[in-house]
Amino acid sequence: MTFGSRYAEALAQRGRLCAGIDPHADLLREWGLPVSVAGLREFAQACVAGIAPVASVVKPQVAFFEQFGSAGFAVLEETIAGCRDAGAIVLADAKRGDIGSTMAAYTTAWLDDESPLCSDAVTVSPYLGFGSLAPAIAAARATDRGVFVLARTSNPDGADVQTATTDGTTVAQSIADSAAAVNAQSPGTVGVVIGATRDHGLDLGALGGPILSPGLGAQGASAADLARIFGDADHSWLLPAASRSILRAGPDVAALRSAVESTRDDIERALR
């Protein structure tokens, strides 16, 4: 199966929600865990047990594992494997972006079968030029995996770059158009990241790929905002994302599962 078809099947079976695993120090403390590798592992194991069996897509935030060095990456490897074993699509939120052989090495780390970090998809940054992502896109096409490209993010500072125009086209729109060009040949290979916290101003009619939309819950967006913000987009590709609003239900595994199901159901009602 291609990544696009696996993605569509997962959303049809489990609903439109990307649940983040963000082991932020404040959340570890809220759960009564130490801010250490031991606390990280206990947090991640609860997330795998409570979130991965019910969420269509699980998004580990790589930075919160990376801060613990090699031991943190070992926990991330366990987390990725556990989520995939539970039937979830794993989107590594690594936001990698570079040129040439360096980008190729990042691609090997996140999209190669032989890598212990291998995921179903990875977030990437196009701000060294969309063409710099060629190694990741080529690998994704060859292995039926996906890349999610930052386009119109929810952070206020991003607007300075993303809404800048060249020949009347914003940078964010050019990224969406470049993703659409790839998807015209390999449907669903390239997704875009577009925040749910404000109007994005993009034409997504030709995208033909996933739309990861973070911002639900802790960042202020609600499920009801989605239908308005993405009114002209193909909602079958839309993947709203929530992290801390779900994770605050922990450490109880059943409560985490309930939070995923409740958030997903709110999204499905809003988009229906």
59 is catalytic: no
For residues 90 and 84, the answer to whether their CB atoms sit within 8 Å is yes
Record the tokens describing residue 179, joined without a space.
Answer: 């993703």
What CA–CA distance (Å, rounded) separates 215 from 222? 8
CATH label of the domain that carries residue 263 = 3.20.20.70
Q: How many domains does the chain have?
A: 1
Query: pTM of the full predicted structure?
Result: 0.96
159 is in which domain, residue-wise? Answer: 3-271
Burial label for 222, CB within 10 Å (0-12, 13-18, 19+), is middle
Residues 56-109 pLDDT 10s: 999 999 999 999 999 999 999 999 999 999 999 999 999 999 999 999 999 999
Inform me whether the pLDDT recorded for 217 exceeds 90. Answer: no
Residues 126-164 pLDDT 10s: 999 999 999 999 999 999 999 999 999 988 899 999 999
For residues 154 and 219, the answer to whether their CB atoms sit within 8 Å is yes
Catalytic residue (one of 6, 24, 84, 95): 95
